[in-house]
Amino acid sequence: MNIFNEKIDKANSICILGHERPDGDCIGSTLAIYNYIINKYGDKKIVKPYLDFFSKNFNILPNADKISNDTMNAYKFDLAIIVDSSSIDRLSDYKRYFEEANDSILIDHHENNTIPSKVSIVFPESIATCEVLYQFFEKEYIDINVAKCLYLGIATDSGVFRYRATTKKTFEIISYLVSYGFDFTEMLDKIVFDNTLNQRKAQGIAFDRLKLICKGQVSFSYLNDDDMKSLNIDKKDIDNIIVYLREIENIKVAAFAYQVGKDIYKLSLRSKSDNIDVAEFAKKHEGGGHKLASGCVYHGSIDDVTFNFTKDIGDFILDK
């Protein structure tokens, strides 16, 4: 029995925690573990997954309705399993469940993970936490429900199997998972590709304002509070805009600003060049993230933000 299964075996009560604003890999990992434990132990253990609110599109995943956003449960769990989270702050209000648990195990793929878990399983070369998890699951307890969750996590974190960290091993795992015979096309459409009409309209506004700055090396656009109010959408509805801003020829960096308060904008950043580490840039501007994907904060009107960001990112990529 590997350490992951040993920890689960010993614990009578288990909470599963992920990062704030959970993405497909985070939700997929959380539910894969939940379904796996249920398959293996039935109702013999208390298992509680906790995550922030997420898009209702994920509700097609098996047992998504078991995920709670209660941050006030006074219960102390035997074991906290943390997935896909690189630092303690990213656990947001659920970190107390981790801190109060007797034991903990972290499963992740973020390099330089700083979570002080009793056991840490971090494989930075893996495209997704779900890819790491697959290697620790006992095959006989993987069923179609677990397979769907693992598939979704790997598909979303790999940009549907196109990012560089997608490997032969990724496809071997996927080949095994699809053998369970679920409709992955429908799942990808519902969770990854389908947009609401107003999401498409928001993208339209962002495309309309899209410009190339820094001599064509950086794409930039924004949405403000009024845009989001008029379309009745919020932050999670505009997550994917940065993906489209990245898909422009000859750019090195894509940037998308969205208003989060009076004179405050958050910027999502994507690098298309291995030489440009946007996490390094973000750290100088109240943010952080990965080398190729990060986020930061700018203050002022959108004209101030545009002006200052153009100057800062221009200086940053100058010698790269």
Q: How many residues bind Mn ion (CB under 5 A)?
A: 4
CA angle 242, 216, 274 (to 5 degrees): 65
Q: Which window, 17-25, 34-42, 172-180, 279-287, contacts Mn ion (CB under 5 A)?
A: 17-25
Closer Cβ to Mn ion, 217 or 295, answer by number: 295
Phi, psi of 259 (to 5 degrees): -75, 135
**Residues in region 53-92 near Mn ion by CB under 5 A:** 84
Q: Is 227 in the site for Mn ion (CB under 5 A)?
A: no
Closer Cβ to Mn ion, 84 or 237, answer by number: 84
Spatial CA neighbour of 292 closest among 88, 111, 85: 111
State in angstroms the smallest separation of the CB of 140 from Mn ion: 26
Count CB neighbours of 202 within 10 A: 23
Which own/partner contact pairs does 198-205 have at CB distance under 8 Å and 24+ positions apart? 198/231, 198/232, 198/233, 198/237, 199/233, 199/237, 199/238, 199/240, 201/231, 202/227, 202/228, 202/231, 202/233, 202/237, 202/238, 202/241, 203/240, 203/241, 203/244
State in angstroms the smallest separation of the CB of 163 from Mn ion: 11
**Residues in region 119-148 near Mn ion by CB under 5 A:** 129
The single residue among 7, 8, 14, 25 that binds Mn ion, judged by CB under 5 A, is 25
The single residue among 22, 106, 157, 253 that binds Mn ion, judged by CB under 5 A, is 157
Q: Which window, 23-31, 64-72, 73-81, 187-195, contacts Mn ion (CB under 5 A)?
A: 23-31
DSSP letter (8 states) at residue 238: G
State in angstroms the smallest separation of the CB of 101 from Mn ion: 22
Q: Is 108 in the site for Mn ion (CB under 5 A)?
A: no
Chain residues that interact with Mn ion, rule: CB under 5 A: 25, 84, 129, 157
